[in-house]
């Protein structure tokens, strides 16, 4: 049909929008880290906070890489487009929760992070739940090609993130972060060395 938009053109459009949102996400994280480097004495550095920033950066970069498989969608509908934009936006929300515009009213990043951890971990849990739907959108064969480690990784991370909502101790938060980072890095290295 003449004048019809091809699936590749739609995918290119979607990819540009995703790139803008995820670019803002990475920018938010890097700007936050640079502020800490520029003024470390004013920020009360908290290693767990920085660790979750690294985890979130890995999650954003992995999502950006993983979304290449959206080109396999045969027919783009508005619902799929809206879903993907919302899913990308969750990544930006997580990044914005880690680095607020101001720390006014907080003693530093530890105080801020611990007081807002429910929001941060809740958003991250949503990301890994929505990841199941996103992966299913790419087709059953794609979902199965990721092996049993894919759903296992998501479920374990959801459990760790849920525990993070309730954990108040520094040591427990550090342990949860360490396990989550190891799982995320291992999964990325095993599954996605090439597209």
Q: What is the pLDDT of residues 136-160, one digit of tens each?
A: 888 888 788 888 899 999 999 999 9
Quote the pLDDT of residue 20. Answer: 94
Q: What is the pLDDT of residue 142?
A: 79
Of the candidates 60, 28, 31, 50, the one whose C-alpha atom is nearest the C-alpha of residue 110 is 50
Maximum alpha-carbon separation in the chain: 63
Write the DSSP assignment of 120-165 as a string of letters. HHHHHHHHHHHHHHHHHHT-HHHHHHT-THHHHHHHHHHHHHHHHH
pLDDT score of 42: 65
Residue showing tokens 């809740």:
122
Write out the H or E segment, with its range, that includes residue 5.
none
Q: Extract the residue ranges of the chain whose pLDDT is less than 50.
A: 1-3, 195
Q: How far is CA 133 from the centre of its chain?
A: 15
Q: Per residue in 89-105, pLDDT tens? A: 999 999 999 999 888 88
Residue-level pLDDT at 2: 46
């Amino acid at each position: 049909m003449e004048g019809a938009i091809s699936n590749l053109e739609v995918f290119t459009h979607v990819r540009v929008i995703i790139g803008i949102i995820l670019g803002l996400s990475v920018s938010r994280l890097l700007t936050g880290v640079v502020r800490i480097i520029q003024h470390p004495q004013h920020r009360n550095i908290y290693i767990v906070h920085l660790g979750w920033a690294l985890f979130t950066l890995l999650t954003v970069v992995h999502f950006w890489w993983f979304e290449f498989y959206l080109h396999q969608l045969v027919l783009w509908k508005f619902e799929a487009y809206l879903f993907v934009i919302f899913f990308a936006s969750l990544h930006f929300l997580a990044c914005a929760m880690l680095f607020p515009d101001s720390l006014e009213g907080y003693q530093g990043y530890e105080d801020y992070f611990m007081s807002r951890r429910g929001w941060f971990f809740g958003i991250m849990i949503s990301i890994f739940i929505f990841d199941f739907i996103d992966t299913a959108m790419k087709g059953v064969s794609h979902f199965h090609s990721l092996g049993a480690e894919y759903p296992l990784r998501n479920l374990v991370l959801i459990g760790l993130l849920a525990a993070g909502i309730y954990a108040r101790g520094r040591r427990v938060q550090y342990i949860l972060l360490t396990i989550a980072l190891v799982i995320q890095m291992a999964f990325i290295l095993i599954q996605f060395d090439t597209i």
